[in-house]
């Protein structure tokens, strides 16, 4: 997968260092993945929640933070749409958010 806005993830963990191990792991797995659908993503991340045919929500740092990614499986691209605390996540529309 090609990850769009990888720098956004790096910038986030610089401000929120407790997220770095989880986000580093996510980047490593996603970069090497050849996912074809949301269920394949969820198979690699047991706590991921499929939101629709393109968006998946990931728990970060033991569930204290959330990451929403929109996938274009045909082109093998992952678009970072949101990273924030659990409380911030509760205030957004996960299917429409486009923070970055």
Q: Please report whether residue 100 resides in a domain.
A: no
Q: Please report whether residue 76 resides in a domain.
A: yes
Q: Please report whether residue 95 resides in a domain.
A: no
Q: At 99, is the pLDDT very low, low, confident or very high (cuts 50, 70, 90)? A: confident
Tens-digit pLDDT profile for residues 8-48: 999 999 999 999 999 999 999 999 999 999 999 999 999 99
Tens-digit pLDDT profile for residues 59-80: 999 999 999 999 999 999 999 9
CATH number at residue 69: 3.30.2310
Total domains in the chain come to: 1
Q: Please report whether residue 99 resides in a domain.
A: no
The reported pTM is 0.94
For residue 49, the cross-strand partners are 57
Q: Please report whether residue 98 resides in a domain.
A: no
Domain that holds residue 79: 2-89
Q: At 81, is the pLDDT very low, low, confident or very high (cuts 50, 70, 90)? A: very high
Q: Please report whether residue 64 resides in a domain.
A: yes
DSSP string, 42-88: HHH-TT-EE-SSSEEEEEEGGGTEEEEEEEETTTTEEEEEEEEEHHH
């Amino acid at each position: 997968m090609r990850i769009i806005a990888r720098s956004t993830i790096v910038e986030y963990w610089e401000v929120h260092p407790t997220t770095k191990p989880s986000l580093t792991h996510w980047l490593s797995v996603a970069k090497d993945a050849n996912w074809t659908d949301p269920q394949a993503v969820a198979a690699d991340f047991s706590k991921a929640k499929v939101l629709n045919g393109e968006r998946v929500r990931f728990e970060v740092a033991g569930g204290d933070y959330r990451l929403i990614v929109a996938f274009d499986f045909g082109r093998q691209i992952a678009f970072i749409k949101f990273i924030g605390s659990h409380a911030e996540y509760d205030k957004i529309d996960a299917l429409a958010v486009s923070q970055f």
